[in-house]
Structure 1
Amino acid sequence: MMGGSIELESRLAHGSTFRVRLPLAEPPPVAPAMDVATDRSYRLLLVEDDSIVATVIRGLLEREGHAVVHVINGLAALAELAHAGFDAVLLDLDLPGVDGFQIARLIRQREHAGQHLPIVAVTARSGSEDEAKARAAGMDGFLRKPLSGEQLTGALARAVNGVPA
């Protein structure tokens, strides 16, 4: 009905190959969804207790040229922030011990006048009130997992540049 074809090639003990050909038009190029420049490399603190999720996020960020320090809990994050400078923090909300909301509040309490470290929540939570709670705790951005590299880059750029999401 679409003017395409389906082909099957099968050889005993070698397997089968299926080919589906559809005469579809190539989609138009997608315009970038953000107006914020993202050509700068950042030094980032990733606070994530799931090693697989951390590896994926770290890979997405490093592919964009960012330097990433990964820690698995909030107390380790506070220790890193005490002795190293970062351009932003990517913070999971559900961490062992002290949760991401409390870590964000502690970061904000420790800032001096004129300081503001961008914090982006990265969570698997699906509740509708979680974003408002994250913003009330002092976070600048909010992302739900799973996320794409474009979503991550956009939220990071907006948070670092002080653009409301």
Structure 2
Amino acid sequence: MPKILLVEDDEDSYDMLMGRIEHKGYEVDLATTGEEALDMAGEANYDLILMDIRLPGFDGYEATHRIRERSDGDRYVPIIAITAYALEEDREKALAAGCDDYHAKPVHFSKLVEQMETLLGEEKAALGQEAERE
């Protein structure tokens, strides 16, 4: 079962997202600040991170950047930005920070699941290619 880190500080949003993601068969952990996300990402092996951008403390852009900086290169974890910032430059900023994809709020769950499945599939394919080379 894929393990997801949901980074979201709004209780209504994380309640809805956690329930729906768990219903799809994923294991979900919650971080409510950028600092907490950074700590949790370093302590557990997540398959994917869903990152809100507007967070208390440092924002999701900074959290993503720091997660990427700390990555040891052995294992790449895809990150999807989930944000109310919906302009093209916001998408570009999220991608520049290290996010792999972008999802504007309000969340369209079927589209989000499609994005998650695509990135999780790419991660599995990349791991398979690495194993073949060894």
Short-chain TM bin: 0.7 to 0.9
Q: Which of the pair has the greater relative contact order for Cα pairs under 8 Å at 6+ separation?
A: 2
Find out whether 1:67 has 2:10 as its counterpart: no
Shift of 1:160: 2.1
Separation (CA, whole Å) in 2 of partners of 1:81 and 1:126: 26
Separation (CA, whole Å) in 2 of partners of 1:65 and 1:86: 15
What letter corresponds to residue 97 of structure 2 in structure 1?
A
What letter corresponds to residue 142 of structure 1 in structure 2?
Y
- Gaps of at least 5 residues in structure 2 are 124-134
Shift of 1:107: 0.7
Separation (CA, whole Å) in 1 of partners of 2:77 and 2:42: 13
TM-score in terms of structure 1 length: 0.70
Shift of 1:51: 0.6
Shift of 1:128: 2.2
What letter corresponds to residue 87 of structure 2 in structure 1?
G
Partners of 2:86 and 2:105 within 8 A in 1 = no
Tell me the number of residue pairs that the alignment of Structure 1 and Structure 2 aligns: 123
Partners of 2:7 and 2:32 within 8 A in 1 = yes
TM-score in terms of structure 2 length: 0.86
Aligned to 2:58: 98
Shift of 1:148: 2.5
What letter corresponds to residue 4 of structure 2 in structure 1?
L
Shift of 1:82: 2.0
From 100, 104, 110, the counterpart of 2:70? 110
Flag the structure with higher helix content. Answer: 2
Partner SS, residue 79 of structure 1:
helix
Partner SS, residue 88 of structure 2:
coil
Q: CA RMSD in A?
A: 1.4
Runs of 4+ aligned structure 1 residues displaced above 6 Å come to none
Aligned to 1:130: 90
